[in-house]
Amino acid sequence: MALPLESQLNEDTGPVSETMFCEINRAQTPNAVEIAATLPEGQRAQLAVFCYRKRHLHDLGLRIASTCSLNALLQAAGTGGEVIFKQSRDPDATLAKETVPASHASRPITLATCVRQVDLGSDDDDDDDDDLED
């Protein structure tokens, strides 16, 4: 039975088999990179980009990308491949910059301070017109 259209449109197909992806995903990072290194470079670059674009696999994507050439990443991600290539040369530094400090992570986010209060009770637009004429 086929998936509903909504599911088909939202599915991001990986560049490796589900079995291979599960093996890579379950392995510790150094082992996962070693497993990925057995793939041809083009497929490895596609896997790196696939993982890089997913928040929970971002670290793994950078580390796999570190085993790829600039050309392979450009073919896999277009011009974004250059960014991935540069970030993957020192993944620890890249990930450290992306980490949110604990002091910021615990602060609550509210939208109330951003919302401008609007008077919806008045249909009298004459007051606004008078301001424009002055």
- Cα 13 to chain centroid, rounded: 15
Question: Over the stretch 28-85, which tens digit does the pLDDT of each residue have?
Answer: 989 999 999 999 999 999 999 999 999 999 999 999 999 999 999 999 999 999 999 9
Name the residue ranges covered by the structural domains of the chain.
12-100
Q: b or e along 99-128 (b: 16 or more beta carbons within 10 Å of the residue's beta carbon)? A: eeeeeeeeeeeeeeeeeeeeeeeeeeeeee
Arithmetic mean of pLDDT, 8-33: 85
Distance between CA atoms of residues 34 and 24, nearest Å: 9
Closest C-alpha to 48, from 80, 18, 7: 80
